[in-house]
Amino acid sequence: MSLLVVKCGGAVARASAAAVQSLGAGWDGVCVVHGAGPQISSEMDRLGLPVSFVGGRRVTDAAALAVVRESFARVNLELCAALGPGAVGLMGDEIGMEAIPVPELGLVGEPLPARPAAVVDALAAGQTPVIAPIARGPLNVNADEAAWALAVGLGAQRLLFITDVPGVLVEGSLLPSIEADEADRLLDDGSFEGGIVPKLRAAVRAARSGLHAEIGETVVLP
């Protein structure tokens, strides 16, 4: 099966539905992983909970995790509705996604490559699995990293990050492509910060695993 994995950021989740449907033409299957970053931060602000990130990962205590799950569930429902009746919403921890705990960030995990039976069954039935990135524990997982883990575990051929920026920007200029070693160098010397960091790290790992990885209009080369 030729498989495309698409990661939709929370800021563009509903707007991504048409793009996902268009991109899915010509593929045997499409798997969607989504975030909910803006929705989570907004709700945490409303509740007076501290919002903090380290390397693009959200510091998550028990109160924050409750907000994370609620926000993921809401975005998942909205995205499934926008994609149509063939979309199947799945919560990562309920389908067996595993992660290595990152205790210095609280209830956060680094995902392991995964091939959940529920996802495989949905794809075999011609459906589009739409996955919220929570691992068993439960642990909050960065959606970019979850997309990499699922793409590798499922044996996908292409991993695409749909985001609200055009791609990888260096000094304001969009890079049409970047090699993995150069990406590592720029990440290590602090050239990037914020949400692009986990996206680029995930794309580098995907490229080195043999996937065609893209962040918007930027191709990451192994």
Q: 142: which 2 tokens?
A: 């960065």
Listing from the earlier edge strand, what are the strands of the sheet with 134-135? 99-101, 108-111, 139-141, 134-135
Q: What's the chain's Rg over C-alpha atoms?
A: 16
Q: What are the chain's domains?
A: 3-221 (3.40.1160.10)
Which tops the pLDDT comparison, 1 or 219? 219
Percentage of the chain lying above the pLDDT 70 cut: 100
C-alpha 83/C-alpha 120 separation (Å) is: 19
- What confidence score (pLDDT) does residue 16 get? 85
Residue 5 pLDDT > 80, yes or no? yes
Average pLDDT of the chain? Answer: 94
Cβ–Cβ < 8 Å for 89, 76: yes
Residue type, 9: G
Average pLDDT over residues 49-72: 96
Neighbour-count burial of 100, counting CB atoms closer than 10 A to its CB (0-12 exposed, 13-18 middle, 19+ buried):
exposed
Picking from 122, 209, 98, the residue whose alpha carbon sits closest to that of residue 157 is 209
Global confidence as pTM:
0.94
Residue 11 pLDDT > 90, yes or no? no
Confidence of residue 82 (pLDDT cuts 50, 70, 90): very high
C-alpha 150/C-alpha 211 separation (Å) is: 12
Q: Is the dihedral of CA 56, 83, 73, 51 positive or negative?
A: positive
Taking every pair of Cα atoms in the chain, the longest distance, rounded to a whole number of angstroms, is 46
Residue 29 pLDDT > 80, yes or no? yes
